[in-house]
Structure 1
Amino acid sequence: MTSNGIGSSDQGMCYEVLPKQYRGMPGPDIAEFVPISIPREAFGGMVQSLIGRFDNIGAIHRAVSSALDEIEKSQTEHAQDYAKIREGFAEIREGFAEIRADQEEIKEGFAEIRADQEGIRMGCVELREDQKEVRAGIERLDIGIKEVGADHVRLNAKVEELERRVSFIEARELERIDSREFPVPSMQKIQRVLGYVASAGSRFKNYACLSSGKDWVKVAIGLCAIVAVSALFFAGLAKRSRAI
C-alpha cells in the first residue's frame, strides 16, 4: 500500500483503490479491483487526481457510518430477538418435556386401566362360573323338590293306608270284643295302643304336610317306627287270638 492509498495486488495488473479515510476501519470491505494495462505511474496519477475531486467524502463517510450504525443496531435487535427466540425454544422444550411426562402418566394410567379391565374380565369369568353352579344347584333343587313331592304323595298314601288298616283292625277287635270277653287290663292296653296308633298316624299326616324337604328323613323314620310297632302289636294280638 502506498502513501496515497494505492496498492497493487499479487497479480501485478489488478490495483486496489481505497480512500485514506477508510484505511484500517472495521466494517464492510470497501474496495474495487480494476484490471488495467497501463503503466503504474500513470495509473497512480490518474487515481490521485480522481480522489482529489471527491469533495463529498465526508458525506459518504457519514452515510457509511450511519449504515454501519444501523447494521450494528439491527444486529443488536437481532441478537435480542434471537435471545427471545432461544427463550421461546427453551419454553417449547420445557413444554415438550411436560407433554412427554404427561404422556408417560397417560401410558401408566392406560396400563392401570388395562389391568383393571383384565381383573374385571376375570371377575366376569368367575361370575359366569358361579352362575353356572347356581343354575346347576337350582336344577338339583328342582329335582329334589319333585322327588320330595313324590315322596310326600307316597307317604300320604301310606298314612292313609295305615289309617284304613287301623280302622279295620279296630273294627275287627271290636267285633271280637263283642263276641268274647277279655280281661279288663288287656282291653285297656289294646284300646290305648289303638288310640296311640291312630293319633300317631294323624300327627304324622299333619307333620308330613307341614314339614320341609329336609325333614323327610325324620318323617320316614317315624313312619317306619309306627308301622313296626303296629305290626308287632297286631302279630302278638293274633297269636293271643289263636291261643284263645
Structure 2
Amino acid sequence: MGFNWMVNGTMKWYELVPPQYDKLGLEGPDVIRLLPLNLPSSGLGQIAQAYLWPAGSQPPTNEELLRELDLGERAVAVLEREFAGVKIGIERNAAGIERNAAGITTVQAEIERLKAVVEKLEESTKEIRTDQEELSEACEKISAGYGCLIIEKIQGIFCHVVSAGSRFKSYACLSSGKDWVKVAGLCAIVAVSALFFAGLAKRSRAI
C-alpha cells in the first residue's frame, strides 16, 4: 500500500503500510499514524494528505508528522521487544511444564512403589501375628501337658511313698522290739518324703 511521488523530476514509490499489514486488510488514518512511513521530507501533496487524514481536518506540519512517525517507530520497537520477551517466556514455561510433567510421573511411580512396600509390610505383619497366636496356643498346650505330666509323676511317686509307708507300718507292727528303732526311723523318712512330694504336687496344680 503506497503512492507514487515526483521528486526532482523522478517518480518514486513511497510505501505507506508494510505488505504484511496490507494483507491483513488494515487501513485508515488511525493505522497509518502508528506505523513508520517512508515519506519525503518536504512537499506532501494532496494524494498523501487525502490518504493520511480525513478531508476537512487541519493537516499536520512536516515536523509534527515526522515526530509522530518517530514515536510510531519507537512504539513498534518496544512492541517487538515485548513480543520477543513474551515468546521467550512462553518457551520457558513450556519447558518447565514438560519438566514438571516428568517429575510428576516420577513421583507417581515412587508413590506406587511405596504403596506396594506398605502392602507387603502389612501382609508380613499379619503373618507374624498369626505365627505368634499359633505359638502362644502351642505354648499353652505344651505348658498344660507338661504340668499334667508333672502332677501325674508326683502322684505316682506319692502313691509309691504311701504304699511303702503302709508296708513299713505293717512291718513295724510285726517286728520285734529290737527292730523298732530302725522301723521308726524308716517311717520318719517316708513321712518326710510324703510331705515333700505333696508340696510339689500342690505347687504344680497352682501353676
Would the TM-score normalized by the shorter structure come out above 0.5? yes
Across the two proteins, how many residue pairs are aligned to each other? 165
1:128 Cα deviation after fit? 0.8
- In structure 1, the gaps of 5 or more residues are 6-18, 33-48, 178-190, 214-244
- 1:114-139 deviations in Å (ceiling 9; x for gaps): 21221121111111111111111122
- The equivalent of 1:28 in structure 2 is 21
**Structure 1 residue matching 2:104: 3-state secondary structure:** helix
- 1:24-81 deviations in Å (ceiling 9; x for gaps): 845522657xxxxxxxxxxxxxxxx841755548555763564354234213212212
Q: 1:51 is matched by which residue type in structure 2?
A: I
Moved over 3 A (4+): 23-27, 52-69, 197-213
Distance 1:87 1:201 in 2: 108
Pick aligned residue for 1:164 from 164, 169, 178: 169
Please identify the structure whose Cα radius of gyration is greater: 1
TM-score by length of 2: 0.57
- The equivalent of 2:136 in structure 1 is 131
Q: Does 1:84 align with 2:89?
A: yes
1:4 Cα deviation after fit? 4.5
Larger RCO (CA under 8 A, 6+ residues apart): 2
1:107 Cα deviation after fit? 2.2
- Change over 3 Å in CA distance of 1:96–1:204 after alignment to 2: farther
Q: 1:94 is matched by which residue type in structure 2?
A: R
- Change over 3 Å in CA distance of 1:25–1:113 after alignment to 2: closer
Distance 2:128 2:109 in 1: 28
1:166 Cα deviation after fit? 2.1
CA contact (8 A) 2:4 2:13 kept: yes
1:164 Cα deviation after fit? 0.5
Pick aligned residue for 1:51 from 34, 40, 47: 47
Higher helix share: 1
Aligned counterparts, 1:138-217, within 5 A: 138-170=143-175, 173-174=176-177, 195=182, 203=189, 206=192, 210=196
TM-score by length of 1: 0.50
Distance 1:110 1:209 in 2: 65
Distance 1:24 1:109 in 2: 65
**Structure 1 residue matching 2:21: 3-state secondary structure:** coil
- In structure 2, the gaps of 5 or more residues are 6-11, 29-44, 51-58, 202-207
CA RMSD of aligned residues (A): 4.1
Distance 1:75 1:133 in 2: 86
Percent identity between the two aligned chains:
15
